[in-house]
């Protein structure tokens, strides 16, 4: 048997022109059919599953049917690309210079034509005016050529219109209007830019180096705006950038630009395979010449060429012939010269950082260029501000990469220490540079930075593989060795010792060693207590101490410390400063944990805006503030806003890093936790598995970040009812962290998590052993009455409730409540949770009236503090169950119904928490003999639990038994 003909499809490697031809053929057939069911059936049969193909044809049919104005949803700019002219020639037979004479029309739509500005293979552009009280200025009107109003060019027209409809930037030519002529030819109305091309303007205006760089910065700002709108230009060149007499650049010509999908910063773009290249070779990228995937990295490359020409007066390449093969060979194989080598008169000014910036933008491999135009722009600004640039010469990067790969074991072990201490040394050097007008202070800080650097070199000399044969080098062992050196070296200046202690303390803190971190940080601050010139350094150290104090369980003290440090930093540095932003974010984090969510969100927003106002923009600080704000909004049950923030943070990180990075993994971890709260467990699991992959590949399988990721994965397993998988993973984490830390709060937390899973599995004796071990360790390593101790006590109370040991449970809940009330405000969610647990425990003892009174107070607190929230729904459920126990059925049903409604409002359909009040309502109605009313509740709850839980789960079994009892 022969196979039947299937629906028409475009082969995976088909060219854009092939695609256009297919769209054109379908368009021509479909427009002759009656609109409605007949045309829809035709498209369904011919397009099959190719939804994009059908959408393109339907767009053209809609455009054909309109036959009128396009101004409602956007328009286009100038399609001056030589590549499109070539494509037009294939359709019409005319080169740009061969266009047959066409009389200049008197009008185009409502616009009076003044003169022709230019013509190309795609059409003609006219200078025009539209008189009237509301609109009286010159505009540029482009009219598509007769003969090109078929599907292929209407597709291009439509795509460009969509692109410009998204853009609103002072350095991008503005779309004003659009429509169709009386002959049916589409036209587009753009802002008329009276100016010169970028290079011509720079030459005619006699711009010096600094002025050219300032102009280039503005061009980059326009391209950054495109990329943030998910648009890649693909044809950046000086002739597409007009500069007005006032020096304002305007970016033009989006004829071959591409809108990326919202979830795809690196957007796939098809090139033709007909010998036509949809870009200008002199400014195109190697990947464009090869017809590969085009991303924002291609625009980075084009800007590198423009920068090269703008500063040196020469282009980096010459093409012996203009065949595709010749163009590809030059762009992919020929190394560009340095700017300084082709511009001898400016060689001294261009050599060094400017040569390095251009060379990085012009790297052959997209992944090795600047990760975004924003980063290129930042480096240009850093150069102009006299700061070190981020770009580095090519060979150094290669050598460093190869060295790290050869010595990955011992370098990875010391990574945290290296990053923090080197980062500190660099910061001190920059501070010295920025305070050059304060010579004494600058010299002192430079000396301190030098001492830190020498200390680091000495420490690593004895830690290198050839100096420490037979010794296992770990980050902790390096820290211990360094701390001992500082402790016994009393000859150093107080400022130097403080700087070293601060660096070591931060490194210990990053590894979770709060005890050692606290000792070192407090010593560092004490050394500067009487040195007035060191107020900024003291305030920075106090930010770390404030965060540490919260980890130690003293939230009130932590808040006071951070507020004081922030006030000092604002006074010393002003409101916009890196240190101020970091302190603001630290205070926001603590306030969020203390339940002061409104102020916490305001501070996170402030930190985010602060980072965006810095020069250069501190993108990583911005993203960190976004992730923090998202966590606060999640705690506020504003899940939608939290998700938007995290997705935007992830998008920025993809563009910033252009590859895997631990920051991106942290954002994915936050997204996984959010999805867990939303009940979107599969999405949460996918997110955290990707975080595990990134952290494992970048940091190594034994890095603490990987265990943080696995910890979240285990929580998702537990929430999904996969208790044995959760248990196995938690045991693995426990063993690794026990080996890594010894007695430590993280290890105690692992023991407690295992205890909780064992309770759910019914292994109460083993659960008790784990909880007891966790509590004993916490009492050894944490301050008295730390909140984590309260968590373990409360979980032990739950265990005793499950075991029906009610008298043992109550004192544990009471002790947990006492600790939390001493740590947090009275309306903090943790305090309210403890009160709610105690109320349920009172009910277990038969103290139902007392339990109801306490549960109602909790409900009032949650409604006032949280409003419509998951925890409010839990309180409604608790009060409803207590009212039912007292026989107050009508009141009970009202609270239970409100609980169900609230859960449905804040959680996705099918979430297991929603099933709790539904199941209870069904069981209550069943106990009252109202079987018909009970059945739908029981069936709905059972259906929800069957989707999430294994068949043998007790919650599933109980509901099945209840439903069976109704038929007996």
Task: With CA atoms as reference, report the closest residue to 286 among 243, 330, 252.
Answer: 330
Rounded Cα gap, residues 651 and 699, in angstroms: 21
Q: SS3 for 9?
A: coil
How far apart (Å, rounded) are the C-alpha atoms in residues 786 and 238?
Answer: 63
Binding site annotation covers 142? Answer: yes
Peptide bond into 609 cis (omega under 30): no
Catalytic-role residue among 149, 235, 253, 299: 235
**Residue 593 is inside which H or E element, if any?**
helix 578-593
Q: How far is the C-alpha of 949 from the C-alpha of 681, rounded, in Å? A: 12
Answer whether 797's CB lies under 8 Å from 836's CB: no
| Rounded Cα distance, 237 and 253, in Å | 10
d(CA 283, CA 234): 9
Residues 6 or more apart in contact with residue 347 via CB below 8 angstroms: 340, 341
Contact 246, 150 (CB under 8 A): no
Task: Find residue 244's DSSP bridge partners.
Answer: 195
Residues in a beta bridge with 259: 231
Q: To which residue do tokens 């368009």 refer?
A: 27
Are the CB atoms for 459 and 492 separated by under 8 Å?
A: no
Residue 678 · residue 913 · CB < 8 Å: no
Contact present, 579 and 569 (Cβ < 8 Å): yes
Output the CA–CA distances (angstroms, integers) from residue 27 to 33, 61, 967, in the order listed. Answer: 10, 7, 62
Residue 84: count other Cβ atoms within 10 Å of its Cβ: 24
CA distances 357 to 297, 305, 343, 379, 523, Å, are 15, 11, 16, 7, 42
Contact 894/857 with Cβ under 8 angstroms? Answer: no
72 Cβ contact partners less than 8 Å away, ≥ 6 residues apart: none
235 counts as catalytic: yes
870-885 vs 889-906: helix crossing angle, rounded to 10: 160
**For 1, which DSSP code?**
-
Would you give the DSSP letter of residue 770? H
CA proximity to 678, closest of 711, 730, 633, 709: 633
Q: Is the sign of the CA dihedral 467, 468, 469, 473 positive or negative?
A: negative
- Binding site as annotated, residues for ATP: 142
Active site residues: 235
């Amino acid at each position: 048997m022969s196979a039947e003909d299937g629906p028409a499809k475009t082969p995976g490697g088909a060219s854009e022109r092939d695609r256009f031809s297919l769209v054109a053929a379908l368009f021509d057939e479909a427009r002759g059919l009656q609109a409605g069911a007949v045309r829809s059936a035709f498209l369904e049969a011919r397009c099959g599953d190719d939804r994009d193909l059908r959408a393109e044809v339907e767009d053209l049919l809609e455009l054909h049917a309109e036959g009128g104005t396009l101004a409602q949803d956007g328009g286009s700019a100038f399609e001056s690309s030589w590549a499109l002219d070539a494509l037009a020639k294939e359709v019409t037979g005319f080169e740009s210079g061969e266009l047959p004479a066409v009389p200049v029309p008197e009008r185009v739509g409502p616009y009076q034509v003044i003169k022709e500005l230019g013509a190309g293979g795609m059409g003609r552009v006219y200078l025009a005016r539209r008189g009237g009280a509301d609109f009286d200025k010159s505009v540029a009107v482009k009219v598509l050529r007769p003969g090109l109003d078929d599907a292929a060019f209407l597709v291009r027209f439509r795509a460009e219109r969509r692109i410009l409809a998204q853009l609103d930037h002072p350095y991008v030519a503005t779309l004003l209007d659009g429509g169709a002529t009386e002959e049916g030819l589409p036209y587009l109305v753009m802002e008329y830019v009276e100016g010169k091309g970028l290079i011509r303007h720079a030459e005619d205006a006699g711009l010096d180096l600094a002025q050219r760089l300032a102009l280039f910065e503005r061009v980059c700002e326009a391209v950054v705006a495109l990329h943030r709108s998910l648009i890649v230009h693909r044809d950046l060149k000086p002739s597409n950038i007009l500069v007005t007499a006032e020096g304002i650049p305007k970016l033009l010509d989006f004829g071959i630009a591409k809108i990326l999908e919202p979830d795809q910063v690196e957007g796939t773009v098809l090139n033709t395979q007909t010998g036509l290249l949809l870009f200008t070779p002199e400014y195109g990228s190697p990947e464009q010449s090869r017809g590969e995937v085009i991303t924002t990295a291609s625009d980075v490359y084009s800007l590198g060429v423009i920068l090269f020409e703008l500063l040196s007066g020469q282009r980096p390449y010459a093409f012996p012939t203009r065949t595709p093969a010749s163009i590809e060979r030059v762009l992919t194989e020929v190394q560009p010269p340095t700017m300084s080598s082709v511009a001898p008169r400016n060689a001294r000014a261009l050599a060094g950082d400017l040569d390095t910036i251009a060379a990085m933008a012009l790297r052959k491999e997209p992944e090795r260029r600047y990760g975004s135009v924003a980063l290129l722009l930042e480096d240009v600004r850093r150069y102009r501000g006299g700061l070190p640039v981020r770009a580095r010469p090519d060979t150094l990067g290669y050598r460093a990469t190869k060295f790290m790969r050869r010595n990955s074991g011992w370098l990875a072990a010391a990574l945290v220490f290296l990053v923090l201490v080197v980062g500190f040394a660099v910061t001190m050097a920059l501070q010295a540079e920025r305070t050059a007008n304060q010579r004494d202070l600058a010299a002192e800080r430079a000396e301190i930075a030098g001492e830190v650097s020498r200390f680091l070199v000495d420490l690593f000399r004895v830690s290198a593989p050839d100096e420490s044969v037979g010794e296992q080098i770990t980050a902790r062992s390096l820290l211990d060795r360094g701390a001992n050196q500082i402790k016994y070296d009393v000859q150093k200046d107080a400022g130097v010792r403080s700087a070293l202690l601060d660096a070591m303390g931060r490194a210990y803190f990053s590894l979770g060693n709060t005890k050692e971190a606290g000792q070192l940080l407090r010593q560092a601050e004490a050394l500067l207590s009487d040195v007035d010139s060191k107020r900024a350094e003291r305030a920075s150290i106090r930010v770390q101490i404030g965060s540490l104090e919260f980890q130690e369980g003293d939230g009130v003290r932590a808040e006071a410390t951070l507020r004081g440090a922030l006030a000092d930093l604002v006074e010393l540095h002003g409101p916009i400063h890196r240190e101020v932003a970091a302190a603001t974010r630290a205070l926001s984090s603590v306030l969020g944990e203390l339940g002061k969510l409104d102020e916490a969100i305001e501070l996170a927003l402030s930190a985010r805006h602060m980072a965006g106002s810095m020069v250069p923009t501190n993108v990583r600080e911005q993203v960190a503030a976004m992730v923090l704000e998202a966590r606060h909004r999640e705690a506020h049950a504003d899940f939608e806003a939290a998700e938007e923030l995290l997705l935007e943070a992830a998008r920025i990180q993809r563009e910033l890093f252009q590859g895997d990075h631990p920051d991106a993994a942290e954002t994915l971890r936050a997204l996984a936790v959010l999805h867990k709260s939303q009940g979107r467990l599969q999405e949460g699991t996918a997110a955290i598995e990707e975080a595990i992959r990134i952290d494992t590949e970048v940091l190594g399988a034994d890095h603490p970040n990987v265990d943080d990721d696995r910890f979240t994965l285990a929580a998702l397993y537990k929430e999904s009812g996969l208790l044995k998988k959760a248990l196995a993973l938690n045991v693995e984490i426990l063993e690794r962290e026990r080996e890594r830390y010894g007695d430590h709060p993280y290890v105690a937390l692992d023991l407690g998590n295992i205890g909780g899973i064992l309770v759910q599995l019914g292994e109460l004796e083993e659960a008790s052993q784990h909880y007891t071990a966790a509590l004993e360790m916490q009492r050894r390593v944490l301050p008295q009455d730390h909140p984590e101790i309260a968590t373990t006590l409360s979980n032990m109370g739950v265990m005793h409730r499950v075991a029906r040991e009610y008298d043992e449970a109550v004192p544990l809940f009471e002790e947990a409540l006492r600790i939390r009330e001493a740590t947090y405000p009275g309306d903090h969610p943790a305090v309210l949770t403890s009160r709610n647990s105690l109320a349920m425990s009172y009910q277990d003892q038969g103290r139902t009236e007392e339990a109801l009174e306490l549960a109602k107070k909790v409900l009032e607190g949650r409604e006032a503090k949280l409003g419509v929230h998951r925890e409010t729904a839990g309180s409604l459920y608790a009060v409803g169950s207590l009212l039912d126990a007292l026989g107050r059925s009508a009141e009970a049903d009202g609270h239970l119904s409100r609980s169900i409604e609230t859960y449905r409002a804040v959680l996705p359909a099918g979430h297991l928490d929603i099933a709790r009040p539904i199941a209870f309502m069904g069981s209550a109605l069943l106990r009252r003999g109202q079987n018909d009313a009970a059945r739908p509740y029981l069936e709905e709850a059972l259906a929800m639990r069957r989707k999430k839980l294994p068949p043998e789960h007790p919650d599933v079994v109980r509901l099945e038994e209840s439903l069976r009892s109704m038929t007996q």
